[in-house]
Amino acid sequence: MRIGKMDFAKRLRLRAGCAVACLCIGLGVIIVSVVANGFDPYRHAFLLGLGTGLTGAGAVKLRQTLHVLRDPGKSRATRIEEEDERNRSIEMRSSQITFYIGAIALSIASVITAFYDQKVMHTLSIVLLLLLALKGISLLVLRRLG
Amino acid sequence: MENRLRELRRARGMTQQQLADAAEISRQTVIAIEAERFNPSVLLAFRLAKALGVTIEDIFIFEG
């Protein structure tokens, strides 16, 4: 059973690779935040938090993926759960709802912040425009491919 | 779309889990199809038909 052009085992191996990359980037960020001088306390704390988060997420994902890869029973159950048609349809609907609610929330937030802080309003507007542009591009690409 | 999935499954003495395993889907999907809350794709309809040893038309009743 395949999703797109990639079978499940290959997808798991790719996932493990991404988890390792995330782990390495996280450790790199932690090292930079500890070793590098000249950061103010806010930036130091931000980098340390980012690095710890990335390292933790990478480690957890790597452990989960390796566990599934090594156990054929668990691998089959996970594949069925992930490739199940109804689950995928629910995930797709959930993503669509999340996107539209996020876009509406960003629009409202950018209008509200326009009264208080122009910088924040610009940032929020740019994020909203980028999101909409990405949505448009992904629609175009998927229509071409589909 | 109406279907006779529950009837055909029971006639073969299969549980929802056994049918789900045979068609490689989750048990929740079998439950949703039997309750007519979810219409499967053609591919899944073929897998269900194969698992039950019948044709798609035996399971799904299309009233267009």
Complex ipTM, two decimals?
0.83
Would you call A35 exposed, middle or buried from its count of C-beta atoms within 10 A (0-12, 13-18, 19+)? exposed
Residue B15 dihedral angles phi and psi, to the nearest 5°:
-85, 165
Chain B partners within 8 Å of A83 (Cβ): 24
Q: What is the pLDDT of residue A4?
A: 52
pLDDT by 10-residue block (mean), chain A, 146 residues? 66 95 96 83 89 97 94 90 92 95 95 92 95 95 89
- Nearest residue on chain A to B32, alpha-carbon basis: A86
DSSP secondary-structure letter at B40?
Answer: P
Between the alpha carbon of residue B62 and those of residues B35, B39, B46, B47, B57, the distances in Å are 16, 11, 15, 18, 8
- The reported pTM is 0.74
Chain A partners within 8 Å of B38 (Cβ): 86, 89
Residue B60 dihedral angles phi and psi, to the nearest 5°:
-105, 135
Chain B partners within 8 Å of A87 (Cβ): 26, 28-29
CA angle (A39, A59, A47) in 5-degree steps? 10
Q: B34 or A6: whose pLDDT is higher?
A: B34
- Nearest residue on chain A to B31, alpha-carbon basis: A86
Whether chain B has a CB inside 8 Å of the CB on A81: the answer is: yes
Residue A124, token pair as written in the block? 């929020």
Quick check: B26 and A86 CB within 8 A?
A: yes
Q: What is the pLDDT of residue A39?
A: 77
Q: Which amino acid is at A29?
A: V
Is residue B26 predicted with pLDDT exceeding 70? yes
Is A103 in contact with A132 (CB distance < 8 Å)?
yes
Would you call A141 exposed, middle or buried from its count of C-beta atoms within 10 A (0-12, 13-18, 19+)? exposed
- Check the CA dihedral A124-A126-A129-A131 and report its sign: negative
Q: What is the pLDDT of residue A41?
A: 83
Is residue B13 predicted with pLDDT exceeding 90? yes
Residue where the block lists tokens 């935040």: A33
Quick check: A86 and B24 CB within 8 A?
A: no
Select from B29, B31, B43 the residue whose CB has the most chain A CBs within 10 Å, as the one to mutate to test that interface: B29
Nearest beta carbon to residue A81 from set B26, B32, B40: B26
pLDDT band (50, 70, 90) for residue B64: low
Residue B25 dihedral angles phi and psi, to the nearest 5°:
-135, 175
DSSP secondary-structure letter at B38?
Answer: -
Q: What is the pLDDT of residue A146?
A: 75
- Nearest residue on chain A to B38, alpha-carbon basis: A86
Average pLDDT of the residues of chain B: 93
E-strand spans in chain B? 2-3, 60-61
Tally of CB atoms within 10 A around B4: 15
